[in-house]
Each structure stands twice: as C-alpha cells, then as structure tokens.
Amino acid sequence: MKVYLSRRYHFSASHRLHSDAYTPEQNRAAYGKCNNPHGHGHNYVVRITVSGPVDPVTGMVCNLAELDGFVRRVICERFDHKNLNQDSAFEKLVPTTENLCREIHRVVKSGFAHVMLEDVRVDETSNNSFEYSERERHLISVCK
Ligand code: NI
C-alpha cells in the first residue's frame, strides 16, 4: 500500500513567449500579449507529489526536510527572480509553463530518485495550471 505526499513550493520569475521558428506576426498570433518584448512575471506555485510505502519506523513516505532542501536548492533557487528565457533549459525551448513543468519533473525525477515521483503541477495564475504526470505519461493543460 502506498501513500501520496504532496508539497507546495513558490517562486517568482519572468518570461517572454516567443518562438524563433515563427515570424513576428506568427508569434503575436500565437502568444498575444505574452509575446511582448519586455516579458512579464508570474508567481508560480509548484506542487510536487511523491509516493511510496509508509516507513514502519518513521511513519513517513519520505523525509520532508530532505524533499524541501532538494526542491528549494534545485528548483526555487534556480528560478526565483530569474528570467526563464535566460535559463539553459530554455535556450531552444519556449519557456511556457508546459515546458517549465516538464523541466521541473525531469530535474526532480533524476535528482530525488529514492521515492516515486508521481506528478508535478505548476500553477501559473489562479486560472492556469499544468500538470506532468508519470502515471498518465502526458501533459495535461487543466485550464488555459
Ligand atoms: Ni506568462
């Protein structure tokens, strides 16, 4: 029997949605005001869900302090108060929250491997959230 553990983290970052494969007109059509050359910011909320058996000694799925330390170091410190377009992950990828969600999933899955990473959800605004689920192996745009 496994138990799911979810934990929320926050960071603020800016981005500009722009694809080099598109003309300026196509970019404006695809991204609207998010293509503004000066960019804009979001207060992102990341929810990480892991799962596993409950350790009979600790009574826990995983050590929350370890998870917090890891996520704050590799995700929050990396992205907080940064321009996502300048991050190495987005040299060739548009820094949409879809792609941000996938990058966070990749980093947490590879670096915090002793528990099962179930899914990563990123809230971009109160109306938009994105989820990358290992269980369903696809990206879900909850509301865009
Ligand atoms: Ni945006």
Ligand 1 (ion): which residues have CB within 5 A?
34
CA of 13 to the centre of ligand 1 (A): 9
**81 has catalytic annotation:** yes
Please state the pTM of the whole predicted model. 0.91
How many domains does the chain divide into?
A: 1
Q: Among all chains, which residue has been given the structure tokens 């934990």?
A: 7
| Residue (of 72, 59, 81) closest to 108 by Cα position | 72
CA of 62 to the centre of ligand 1 (A): 33
Chain-centroid distance of CA 97 in Å reads 7
CA of 41 to the centre of ligand 1 (A): 6
How far apart CA 66 and CA 51 sit, in angstroms, is 15
CA of 105 to the centre of ligand 1 (A): 19
CATH number reported for the structural domain that contains residue 119 in this entry: 3.30.479.10
How far apart CA 37 and CA 126 sit, in angstroms, is 24
User: 1 falls in which pLDDT band (50, 70, 90)?
Assistant: confident
Check 10, 66, 81, 136 and give the catalytic one. Answer: 81
CA of 94 to the centre of ligand 1 (A): 11
CA of 69 to the centre of ligand 1 (A): 27
Q: Is the model's pLDDT at 138 over the cut of 90? A: no
Q: What is the pLDDT of residues 8-64, one digit of tens each?
A: 999 999 999 999 999 999 999 999 999 999 999 999 999 999 999 999 999 999 999
| Domain interval for residue 76 | 3-143
What is the torsional sign of CA 70, 72, 77, 79?
Answer: positive
Token pair of 109, please?
């899955």
How far apart CA 17 and CA 36 sit, in angstroms, is 8
**34 has catalytic annotation:** yes
Check 98, 103, 124, 131 and give the catalytic one. Answer: 124
Residue 3's contacts (CB-CB under 8 Å, 6 or more residues apart) are 51, 52, 53, 54, 61
